[in-house]
Amino acid sequence: MYSVLEFQGSREEYEAILALNRMVSPDSRGETVDELMEEEANWPADKLFKRFVVQTDGEVVAAGVCFEAYWEFKAGTVHLHFEINPEHSAEQILPALYASIIEFLKRRDETVLCLACGMSEEDGARVQFLKERGYEKVMGWVSSELPVAELDLGGFGPVTEQVALAGIRIVTLRQLKELEPDWKRKLRDLRYALHCDVPSPDPATKPSLSEFEEMVLRDPALVEDAFFVALAKDSFLVGMSNVWRNDVTGKRLDAGLTGVERSFRRKKIATALKIHTIRYAQAAGAETISTRNEEKSVMLKLNLALGFEPGPAWLSLRKTIDTHIGC
């Protein structure tokens, strides 16, 4: 017998959520209870974040969240996320969890125009469950991995030379902090400008400096020497690329946002930045760099040219609601 309950926010519940998260997503960064509690305490007060848990015999076996994405905010769009212990029946849990979240959204009495849910294409049962309820695929991202240990970057020598000859300097975040007194605001602005051009179902929202600090600078997976910034004349920030150390063993690094300011594109700056991240990964003894790119994007083409090997896709499924919320 499974019961769906509203999350109360006790330390024990947070511990159970993290244990579930480790089981469902063993590759994700092992957050601590304090980090997760702080992250959720800092969620903007005017944006929705509501969690539910599913228990059986006093044990948390699944969790579901509905939230408004403050970094890509679109009024009326609510994101759903589910985690279900694979040893328990998703067939029984998912309909009950989903129904409780929808009931909550109806009671909340705020207009919902779109429900959004992301999942791997390999999770066929979940995809089917949502399609039966009127969800449709709006976008897909191809996962890919670059085995870095044996990778020979010799052929890319001319690229880094070409970029240097064009007057572009590539520095680490650690160096940028010493070079540029106003680095934090400039990096926030560059990241936001690039984020606006990343293929996504929703437009990027400009983060405040404190949101930028929370999302990027205070992320424990941030490595300042694995975060590269391209500078043009007068230390103008024109591009960035980094790898996150979400895997605490350091064997897998995850690619962060790569982007180049519009007027500086097609000059191999992104390729040179990616090469810096790969060199960092090799020197740090990592085995792979993982990433996910929109299936028709330039970035996917660029990564495949660098040797990334494609894997399963991550899907964004959405349901548009034209009246008041009803499922």
Ligand X SMILES: CC(C)(COP(=O)(O)OP(=O)(O)OC[C@H]1O[C@@H](n2cnc3c(N)ncnc32)[C@H](O)[C@@H]1OP(=O)(O)O)[C@@H](O)C(=O)NCCC(=O)NCCS
CA-based Rg of the chain, rounded to a whole angstrom? Answer: 21
- The CB-of-144 to ligand X minimum distance in angstroms stands at 12
Say whether residue 160 binds ligand X (CB under 6 A): no
Considering only 66, 94, 119, 269, the residue that binds ligand X (CB under 6 A) is: 269
Q: Judged by CB, which is closer to ligand X: 34, or 309?
A: 309
Cβ proximity to ligand X: between 130 and 148 the closer is: 148
198 makes contact with ligand X (CB under 6 A)? yes
3-state secondary structure 133-175: CCCEEEEEEEEEEEECCCCCCHHHHHHHHHHHHCCCEEEEHHH
Regarding 268 and contact with ligand X (CB under 6 A), the answer is yes
Rounded Cα–Cα distance for residues 85 and 31 (Å): 18
Closest to 36 measured CA to CA, from 60, 55, 11: 11
Cα 8 to Cα 53, 87, 241, distances in angstroms: 9, 24, 38
Kindly state the smallest distance separating residue 156's Cβ from ligand X, in Å: 10
Buried b (16+ CB within 10 A) or exposed e, 46-72: eebeebbbbbbeeebbbbbbbbbbbeb
Q: Does 260 bind ligand X (CB under 6 A)?
A: yes
Question: How many Å is the maximal CA-CA distance in the chain?
Answer: 67
- Contact letters for ligand X, residues 272-311 (x by CB under 6 A): --------------------------xx-xx---------
Pairing between β-strand 59-67 and β-strand 77-84 as defined by DSSP bridges: antiparallel
Q: Which stretch binds ligand X (CB under 6 A): 56-64, 74-82, 193-201, 242-250?
A: 193-201
Closer residue to ligand X in complex, CB, 288/293: 293
Token pair belonging to 240: 């960035």
Query: CA separation (Å) from 91 to 95, 121, 129?
Result: 7, 17, 9
Q: Does 257 bind ligand X (CB under 6 A)?
A: yes
Closest CB 267 distance from ligand X, rounded Å: 5
Which of 93, 116, 226, 270 is the binder for ligand X (CB under 6 A)? Answer: 270
Binding part of the chain for ligand X, among 10-18, 46-54, 115-123, 268-276 by CB under 6 A, reads 268-276
Site residues (CB under 6 A) for ligand X?
194, 197-198, 257-260, 265-271, 298-299, 301-302
